[in-house]
Amino acid sequence: MEDVQEITLLSFQIQEDTFAVNALKVDHILEVPENITPVPNAPEFIKGIINLHGNIIPVADMRIIMGKEDITSNQDNSIIVINPANNQDSRVGIMVDIVKEVIETKSSELKETVLDGKKGLIESFEGTLLINDEFIHIIDMNNLAEIIEK
């Protein structure tokens, strides 16, 4: 018999698409500060760095990572600080259009991803959920952290 685990996800929107990450790996959800310090020679998707309780956190724009247009920011934009390795030094911020909701589900509800295996710079997804006729793509946080830290 398959081991079915409860999973908790934090969903967010990037333009018309909905994605989610493991909520247990989320440290903070922040308003986007007025000044994110730019980093010279950083990849295009790195918006810069922020100071969070004395720690320097790189911030990546998920629109660019997902291959979307970089449209004007608004008050709904947020930074989700994720910690894939549960290590102070591995934390990264991802800027999203809108943080949506926390989703409680079972691992058995995850289906193989409906994407062609890649979306923008993301190469792997943990799966896809279908909730209320909406696809929610679960991002592989280790893959995401690798992309940001390169």
How would DSSP label each residue in 47-96?
EEEEEETTEEEEEEEHHHHTT---PPP-TT-EEEEE-TTS-GGG-EEEEE
Question: 13 φ, ψ to 5°?
Answer: -115, 140
* Share of residues in the chain with pLDDT > 70 (%): 94
Contact yes or no for 19/139 (Cβ under 8 A): yes
pLDDT surpasses 60 at 91:
yes
pLDDT surpasses 80 at 88:
no
0.95 exceeded by pTM: no
Contact yes or no for 96/68 (Cβ under 8 A): no
Among 71-75, 90-94, 115-119, 144-148, the range with the most confident prediction by mean pLDDT is 90-94
Tell me the average pLDDT of the chain.
88
DSSP at 145: H
The pLDDT of residue 29 is: 97
* H/E stretch holding 98: strand 98-106
The pLDDT of residue 2 is: 58
- Which domains are seen in the chain, by residue range? 6-149 (2.40.50.180)
Q: Distance between CA 141 and CA 6 in Å, rounded?
A: 18
Encode pLDDT of 5-50 as tens digits. Answer: 999 999 999 999 999 999 999 999 999 998 899 999 999 999 999 9
* Share of residues in the chain with pLDDT > 90 (%): 58
